[in-house]
Structure 1
Amino acid sequence: MKKTWLLGLGFFSISITWALYNAFVPLFLDNYLKSTAMIGFMMTIDNYFAMFLQPWIGHRSDKTNSKYGRRMPYLLIGMPLGAVFATLIPLHTGFITLVIFMVLMNLSMSLFRSPTVALMPDITPDHLRTKANGVINFMGGLGSVLAFGIGSKLYGMGSYLPFLCAGLVMLFSMFVLKAVIKEPITLATINPSEVKPKNPVRIREQLDKKTVFILAAIFFWFVAYQGVEALFTLYGKNQLGMSDSAASFSLTFFSLAFLVFALPSGWLGAKFGKKKIILIGVVGLMVIFGSLIFIQSVLWLRVFLIIGGLFWACININSYPWIVSTGREESIGTRTGIYYFVSSLAAITSPPLLGLLIDTFGYSALFISATGGMLLALLCMLKIAPDEKRIESDPGNETPIGAI
């Protein structure tokens, strides 16, 4: 687990950067754009990169063979570039330079996100991956909390300060990861005559019936979650009469509950099975969203959001290890990219779809739609055959677990 906590530094730096980006870049855009819809569109650039670039990068990293390993080359290129362009964003001189820095930062972050995520299963045995994912998500959540808590104070001192600090944290994380994370032995370090050829990893072959239903469930629960996350502040203000700050603060209860339960959720998934814990989370969050349709009290709203955050941890912590466990070891990067493609597709689809339903039927449609999304995810889960033993690589092709 020591390796996992150190690898969590990478997710810590990614989360800090994205939290600051999502919090302050809209303020920069607001100086140039009058349309909130256009600002919202500009803020989805990362999801388009995630949809089209991350699956390809993840697939390429599966086939990368260098003295630095399969994943590390992408970190060594993407993290410094991400740090530089994140630092430059608040130093823009106009709308054009702001957009250029945003695009370049998003491109740079897409270069290493899938390989960074794929490092976890690379260096972690299968039976420990849900626990490891809990640790990594805890580190990512901690990064977001610190970004909001400290970043807002730094922003008051100078808009460039939080982004500069995020860039320095990312560079520090890269040096730590390079120094301590040793990837499994690659073909570059082995006599080619001693290596048996591996079957190539093809994306189409990864989409068997079980995987398709898992991906469909992931899509539907992210549609529900992303829609609530994006539109909750408007719901609190227009449906419950809350102030902007009180509505946004209420959503913090959900995030903190997720953070607190990240580690226990990983432990439960390892002990009782990933599918079973995810099912509990899906059913529980469906009940919570359904109940929130009728909640008018701010106190009870926050109580239910706390419980919802616990159920979301059951889902989110175990879903990535589950999708990885259904394929071969050689396909980890490819399946990581597919996972991010589906979650990013949901992130792009959900806010405008749920927003259209709200425009048509009123704000009560938010949690009705979210409940429907969780119900569709549940139906997909029920179509998935019971977990079977992982399809392992040929013994002659197994990759040793790395060490620090």
Structure 2
Amino acid sequence: MENRLDYKKTFILGFGFFAISITWSVYNAFMPLLLGTYIVDKALIGFIMTIDNYLALFIQPTVGFYSDKIKTRFGRRMPFIMIGMPLAAVFMFLIPNTHSMWALIFALVLMNLSMSLYRSPVIALMPDITPMEQRSKANSIINFMGGIGSLIAYFIGGKLYDLNKGYPFLLSGALIVFSFLVLFTKIKEERDVLAYEKAEEERNLLQGLKIALSNRSTAFLLLAICSWFIGFNGVETFFTLYATQYLGIKASDATLTLSFISLSFLLFAIPAGMIGTRIGKKNTIRIGVSAAILLLFGVFLVQPGSPSMLLLIRVLFLGVGFAWASININSYPLVADMSPVGLLGTFTGVYYLFSSLANIISPPLLGKLIDLLGYKITFLYGAGWFALAFLFINLVHDHRAELNGNAKES
């Protein structure tokens, strides 16, 4: 009984990721348009849009570490959520009500800072309240909730933007407040956390980061994570340009085609967690990475103007969404399984550090390659980084998961 997944608590916890997803989806879709009213230089807009990744390099590992250490009557993770989520909502409300470039940049920087305060703790709550062998399944439910948040942002937010440029940000702020109230009233760490893992010795932040990076298997897992995020982020960032300038299709057809990945990810999120629970997280990730390599290489082979070109790419993108779900749903739970006792929050922060590094590295790297070699390199680039991720994930060996009765992971 004690190793069963509590679906109700997991669904409630999913509101945290729901709030994160709708906020970033609104931010990524509509913030460039607001910035464009003040800034002509697209490179500068692109740099401003990556501020969240630069903040994540420093803040999220630090917040994760201290959420492992503090003790309050609200728990260890909840204090950060209590500060970060309301502040994020305030600044989302403020963003569309600014009336100068500097006021807008000031509001978006503070919004990014607020999001960095609560992202690691709200995600670390999942393994806190979930038995190890059920974490893939729990993560699939949380990501499903996140997918719903993204769809609300794109479909409802898009309609609201046509009515008023500020409405999507107001919708996001309101849903952050709603999600925070659900989390704060329904999740009580003292009651719901199975057991805080207590380390045998006190560690400072640098020691915690050194442990995360010095373990051979953990290092290979983090390199795998960074590699597949570099590959996926590059393809996602440049696909609309690839589609319009290389394939010669309309921008509306390009964005619709890209949505096939999001929709199939949402449909496969929960099955991917179930498969990870049954055959092991690492095995499921390997299947997903292998499929992604083949599917992205398949898109690379599609020739512009060929018969059924668009249909073929959309079918391949459905497969990419399934592969990405297999990888993404199981990767964080595997990181959580590998974290030493007392460093779960720290490892959560390090997970986001490596994904943020990928998001900083990939756009300029692929952009430079496109300048040198043309748009055709885009999907070969993606497939190549997933191939590198496959090499890294095969070097991962999780001793701790085996000790906890989950020997399928190796």
What is the TM-score of this pair, normalised by structure 2?
0.91
Mapping of 1:388-403 within 5 angstroms?
389=401
Matches of 1:385 and 1:170 in 2, distance apart? Answer: 38
Identify the residue that residue 397 of structure 1 maps to in structure 2.
none
Of 210, 222, 226, the match for 1:204: 210
Q: Secondary structure at the match of 1:389?
A: helix
Q: How high is the sequence identity, in percent, across the aligned residues?
A: 48
Structure 1 residue aligned with 2:70: 64
Equivalent pair of 2:74/2:190 in contact (CA under 8 Å): no
Q: Is the partner of 2:401 in helix, strand or coil?
A: coil
The CA deviation at 1:383 is 1.9
1:116 to 2:117 alignment: no
- 2:156 corresponds to which of 137, 150, 154: 150
In 2, Cα distance between equivalents of 1:66 and 1:283: 45
Counterpart residue identity of residue 234, structure 1: L
Residue 185 of structure 1 deviates from its aligned partner by: 6.5
For residue 214 of structure 1, what is the amino acid of its counterpart? L
Return the alpha-carbon distance in structure 2 between the equivalents of residues 107 and 147 of structure 1: 21
2:408 corresponding residue in structure 1: none
Q: Indicate the residue corresponding to 2:134 in structure 1.
A: 128
8 Å CA contact retained: 1:49, 1:110: yes
Aligned mates of 2:298, 2:170 — CA distance in 1: 42
1:219 to 203, 214, 226: 226
Deviations 1:308-356 (Å, cap 9, x if unpaired)?
1101100000000001101234211000000000000000100110110
* Aligned CA distance change for structure 1 residues 204 and 386 (closer, same or farther; 3 Å): closer
From 321, 325, 333, give the equivalent of 1:309: 321
Give 1:276's aligned amino acid.
N
Partner of 2:56: 50
1:4 aligns with 2:10: yes
- Equivalent residue runs for 1:287-326 within 5 Å: 287-296=294-303, 297-326=309-338
**What does residue range 349-368 of structure 1 map to in structure 2 within 5 Å?**
349-368=361-380
**Structure 2 CA distance, aligned partners of 1:52 and 1:65?**
22
Which residue of 240, 243, 247 maps to 1:240? 247
Alpha-carbon separation, structure 2, partners of 1:61 and 1:388: 22
- Matching of residue 341 in structure 1 with residue 353 in structure 2: yes
Deviations 1:53-86 (A, max 9, x none): 1111011100011000000000111111000001
Secondary structure, aligned partner of 2:396: coil
Q: 1:197 to 1:61 in 2, by over 3 A?
A: closer
The letter for the 1-side match of 2:258 is: L
Match of 1:175 in 2: 181
1:197 to 1:212, Cα distance in 2 relative to 1, 3 A: closer
8 Å CA contact retained: 2:337, 2:400: no
Distance 1:184 1:225 in 2: 38
Give the AA of the match of 1:351. Answer: P
Q: Does 1:160 align with 2:166?
A: yes
> 1:74 aligned to 2:76?
no
Measured in 1, the distance between the counterparts of 2:23 and 2:315 equals: 29
Q: Distance in 1 between matches of 2:113 and 2:245?
A: 36
Cα distance in 2, alignment partners of residues 184 and 58 from structure 1: 19
Please name the residue that 2:396 is paired with: 384
Query: Is the CA contact (8 Å cut-off) linking 1:79 and 1:108 kept in structure 2?
Result: yes
Map 1:279-294 onto structure 2 (within 5 A): 279-294=286-301
Assess, with a 3 A threshold, how the Cα gap between structure 1 residues 197 and 358 changes in structure 2: closer, same or farther: closer
SS in 1 for 2:361: helix
| One-letter code aligned to 2:380 | I
Deviations for 1:349-373, whole angstroms, at most 9, x for unmatched residues?
0011011001000001111111110
CA apart distance, 1:391? 5.9
TM-score normalized by the length of structure 1: 0.92
Using the TM superposition, give the Cα deviation of residue 162 of structure 1 relative to its aligned residue in structure 2, in angstroms.
1.9
Structure 1 residue ranges without an equivalent (≥5): 393-404
1:230 partner amino acid: T
2:264 aligned with 1:264: no
Q: How much does 1:243 deviate?
A: 1.0
- SS of the residue corresponding to residue 146 of structure 1 reads helix
Q: CA deviation at 1:199?
A: 2.1
CA 213–184 in structure 1, closer or farther in 2 if over 3 Å, else same: farther
Q: Which structure 2 segments of 5+ residues have no match? A: 1-6, 304-308, 405-410
* Counterpart-to-counterpart distance in 2, 1:118 and 1:128: 14
| Equivalent pair of 1:326/1:391 in contact (CA under 8 Å) | no
Whichever residue aligns with residue 395 of structure 2, its letter is K
In structure 1, distance between residues paired with 2:322 and 2:43:
32
RMSD between superposed Cα atoms in Å: 1.8
Question: Within 2, Cα distance between the matches of 1:230 and 1:337?
Answer: 24
Distance 1:75 1:347 in 2: 24
Deviation at 1:203, TM superposition (A): 2.1
CA distance in 2 between partners of 1:200 and 1:255 (Å): 42
Number of residues of Structure 1 aligned to a counterpart in Structure 2: 386
